[in-house]
Amino acid sequence: MDLWPDDIRLDDLRSPREILDEAAVELEAKNPRLTAEVVEANLSDRIKLSFQVSNRAVPLTLNLFDVFHQFDAGYPAVIDPPDDEIPGFLQRKVYVPGMADLLGVTHAVSKIMTAPGSVQENPWVCGTPREFTTKLRQLLAEDRVKVRIINLLSVKPSRSQLAPTVETPAS
């Protein structure tokens, strides 16, 4: 009898920070034009890990996403993805309300006003290193992340950044 889930493993006890550091090294290995680092900040009630990516050719850094966890425990951790900055007309999937949605608005509002609260699930909460790695891989494959990296890579250095600085002696 085996009652324990497969994602509780003694061979993988990495913290979110360790996994993010590995992701930074992997990104730099895949694209030498980028640098990545994990910046840690202690907030009043939690630790914030910011995954920051820079283009080596230009002085531009972006915060790709954040991860939060408690001071005394790496798990559970929650990944805070970037906002979806892709306009609706460029998104792969867009919700289009149907007639039933429009007709049911009044009924839905009255139902919300009288219904008890409900439990909402946060899909980005991770309880184990395995789950964290799986959800991180999922986030990195999303358009909202990929386009930010592609756009960062496409920024070209200005002429002043390309030209070597030559000092001339004063006469």
- What's residue 88's pLDDT? 74
pLDDT at position 62 over 70: yes
Burial category of 66 from C-beta neighbours within 10 Å (exposed 0-12, middle 13-18, buried 19 and up): middle
Q: Per residue, what are the HEC states of 70-133?
A: CCCCCCCEEEECCCCCCCHHHCCCCCCCCHHHHHCHHHHHHHHHHCCCCCCCCCCEECCHHHHH
- What's residue 102's pLDDT? 58
- Is residue 67 within 8 Å of residue 20, measured between CB atoms? yes
Helix (H) or strand (E) holding 68: strand 60-69
Least confident of 23-37, 45-59, 108-122, 148-162: 108-122
Q: Per residue, what are the HEC states of 18-67?
A: HHHHHHHHHHHHHCCCEEEEEEEEECCCCEEEEEEEEECCCCEEEEEEEE
pLDDT at position 26 over 90: yes
Mean pLDDT, rounded, for 6-27: 87
Contact residues for 25 (Cβ-Cβ < 8 A; gap 6+): 36
Mean pLDDT, rounded, for 53-77: 93
What's the CA gap between 165 and 159, in Å, rounded?
A: 11
- What's residue 120's pLDDT? 86
- What's residue 111's pLDDT? 65
Q: Cα-atom radius of gyration of the chain, to the nearest Å? A: 22
Mean pLDDT, rounded, for 40-62: 94
- Is residue 12 within 8 Å of residue 134, measured between CB atoms? no
- What's residue 90's pLDDT? 78
Sheet (strand 77-80) strand order: 34-42, 47-55, 60-69, 77-80, 125-126
Alpha carbon 31 to its chain centroid, in Å, reads 18
pLDDT tens for 70-115 read 999 999 999 999 987 777 777 777 777 776 655 556 666 666 666 6
pLDDT tens for 120-170 read 889 999 999 999 999 999 999 999 999 999 999 998 876 555 444 445 455
What's the CA gap between 61 and 140, in Å, rounded?
A: 17
